């Protein structure tokens, strides 16, 4: 479509005209034919972005419509750039709201967005039963056979939950904020539990743009954290420590002090800590 509003100046002119006609009670957005063509163009323009965030294309059109009615868009140097950012933020909030089972307004709040997606009863039977056993403790009615106690001088093996807590503590010790480290590692562990395989989880998380944005990590930091925690997916490193990842190493009873002796690992974790992001109001 070779429409005038496809260019920044053409869009500004159309939005200014619609705003002026709205101000005199014409209801331009409802009756103007060019406004209808603009919204159809917007749906096509942001179709791929909406699919990326598991939303319908019409959701992007609604977010764009809300942005187009603001003075900030009409006065911006590039109105389409401002609208694109507004649509992206709205779609991320829609996706997070669906995962957190809350309203879009709540999903936009930083203290809510940092949580991982809600897990429904029975969605992950193994993980649920493990959490239930951890919270309730041993049953006194029909106790299941317990694992043999370690012999004298031996230590009990590290559980997955203990290993995850150790990784979080290690990240915090190397400069990560406690909340960011907890949310990031918890999010990765949840996806790993659902995938059941480190390589599958790594491939999924590497393309998880919404999760990365919610955790406020840039692309390089996100890639580094996944490589450190889940291991390098390169087959050439499969038999090395880098290919295994710190989470699996701790489950295999490696000690944190041994991992911290690796200067390269320490630098990677330290440099991947989230930076203070500049918020853009649209």
pLDDT tens sequence across 126-181: 444 454 455 545 544 444 445 555 555 555 667 878 888 888 988 998 889 888 88
Give the integer Cα–Cα distance in Å for 80 and 32: 20
Confidence at residue 136, expressed as pLDDT on a 0 to 100 scale: 47
Q: Which of 46-60, 135-149, 214-228 has the lowest mean pLDDT?
A: 135-149
Tokens (6 digits) for 110: 């930083």
Question: Is 257 buried (19+), middle (13-18) or exposed (0-12) by CB count in 10 A?
Answer: exposed
Long-range contacts of 25-32, Cβ-Cβ distance < 8 Å, separation of 24 or more: 29/65, 29/69
Which tops the pLDDT comparison, 27 or 174? 174
pTM value surpassing 0.75: no
- Could you tell me the pLDDT band of residue 80, with boundaries at 50, 70 and 90? very high
Give the integer Cα–Cα distance in Å for 59 and 93: 11
State the SS3 of the chain.
CCCHHHCHHHHHHHHHHHHHHHHCCCCHHHHCHHHHHHHHHHHHHCHHHHHHCCCCHHHHHHHHHHHHCCHHHHHCCCHHHHHHHHHHHHHHHHHHHHHHCCCHHHHCCHHHHCCCCCCCCCCCHHHHHHHHHHHHCCCCCCCCCCCCCCCCCCCCCCCHHHHHHHHHHHHHHCCCCHHHHHHHHHHHHHHHHHHCCHHHHHHHHHCCHHHHHHCCCCHHHHHHHHHHHHCCCCHHHCCCHHHHCHHHHHHCCCCHHHHHCCHHHHHHHHHCCCCCCCCCCC
Give the integer Cα–Cα distance in Å for 107 and 92: 9
* pLDDT digit string, tens, across residues 248-274: 888 887 888 888 888 888 898 999 888
Confidence at residue 83, expressed as pLDDT on a 0 to 100 scale: 92
Q: Which residue has the tokens 């295999």?
A: 252
Tokens (6 digits) for 37: 């063509």
Confidence at residue 1, expressed as pLDDT on a 0 to 100 scale: 47
- Section 205-224 average pLDDT: 88
Give the integer Cα–Cα distance in Å for 111 and 96: 13
* pLDDT digit string, tens, across residues 6-18: 888 999 988 988 8
Radius of gyration (C-alpha) of the chain in whole angstroms: 25
Residue 106 has pLDDT above 80, yes or no: no
Confidence at residue 125, expressed as pLDDT on a 0 to 100 scale: 43
Give the integer Cα–Cα distance in Å for 34 and 55: 25
């Amino acid at each position: 479509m070779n429409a005038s509003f496809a260019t920044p100046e053409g869009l500004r002119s159309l939005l200014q005209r619609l705003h002026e006609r709205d101000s005199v009670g014409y209801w331009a957005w409802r009756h103007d034919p060019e406004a209808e063509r603009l919204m159809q163009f917007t749906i096509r323009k942001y179709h791929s972005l909406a699919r990326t965030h598991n939303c319908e294309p019409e959701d992007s059109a609604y977010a764009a419509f809300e942005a187009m009615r603001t003075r900030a868009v009409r006065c911006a140097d590039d109105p389409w750039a401002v609208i694109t950012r507004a649509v992206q933020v709205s779609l991320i909030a829609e996706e997070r709201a669906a995962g957190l089972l809350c309203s879009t307004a709540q999903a936009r709040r930083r203290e809510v967005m940092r949580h991982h997606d809600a897990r429904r009863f029975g969605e992950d039977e193994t993980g649920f039963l493990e959490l239930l056993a951890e919270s309730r403790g041993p049953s006194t009615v029909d106790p299941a056979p317990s694992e043999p106690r370690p012999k004298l001088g031996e230590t009990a093996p590290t559980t997955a939950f203990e290993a995850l807590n150790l990784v979080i503590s290690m990240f915090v010790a190397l400069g990560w904020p406690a909340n960011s480290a907890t949310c990031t590692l918890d999010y990765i562990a949840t996806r790993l539990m659902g995938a059941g395989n480190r390589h599958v989880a790594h491939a999924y998380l590497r393309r998880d743009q919404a999760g990365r944005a919610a955790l406020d990590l840039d692309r390089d930091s996100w890639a580094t954290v996944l490589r450190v925690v889940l291991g390098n997916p390169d087959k050439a490193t499969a038999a090395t420590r880098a290919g295994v990842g710190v989470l699996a190493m701790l489950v295999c009873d490696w000690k944190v002090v041994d991992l911290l002796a690796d200067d390269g690992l320490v630098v990677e974790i330290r440099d991947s800590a989230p930076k203070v992001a500049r918020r853009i109001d649209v």
